[in-house]
Amino acid sequence: MDRRRLRQYIAEVYNVDGEFPWEDSEHMVFRHRGNRKWFALILDAPKRSLGLQEEGRLDVLNVKCGPVLSGTLRGEPGIFPAYHMNKSHWVSIALDGSADEAKLKLLLDTSFDLTAPKPKKQQKASKKGEDPHGF
């Protein structure tokens, strides 16, 4: 999946448009509306910074995932320790066709869920002894 198709996919599935938070940059951030947390970042990373033995840059998608999943994914084609993010909790996925598209979508879902606004805790009853469930 390339950058353009991924941007369309995110808009359709998550109803979120990309933002360009840095001047003179094509880095695109996707955030939750409720808490403004990032769940995805599209950027071009230096290939050498991803551990590749070639010059140039590569479009990647950074997504959040747990440390165990992050470690498991690192050996798979097109998946790298996150560029410019916490490498225990984020991975970079190549947007050159080398990563499995179904896995990319699953990891995007995972990132969306991990960064979603948390449900508010039920407010404690204001009166002592009042049942918080209304019974």
Residue 125: its pLDDT value, please? 46
| Cα diameter, the chain | 68
Model pLDDT for residues 60-76, shown as the tens digit of each residue: 999 999 888 888 888 89
Residue in the block written with tokens 């979603």:
116
Where does the chain show beta strands of DSSP type E?
28-31, 38-46, 57-64, 79-81, 90-94
Proportion of the chain above pLDDT 90, given as a percent: 60
Strands (E), 82-129: 90-94
Contact by Cβ (8 Å): 26, 60 = no
Q: Is 3 exposed, middle or buried (0-12, 13-18, 19+ CB in 10 A)?
A: middle
CATH architecture of 3-115: Alpha-Beta Complex (3.90)
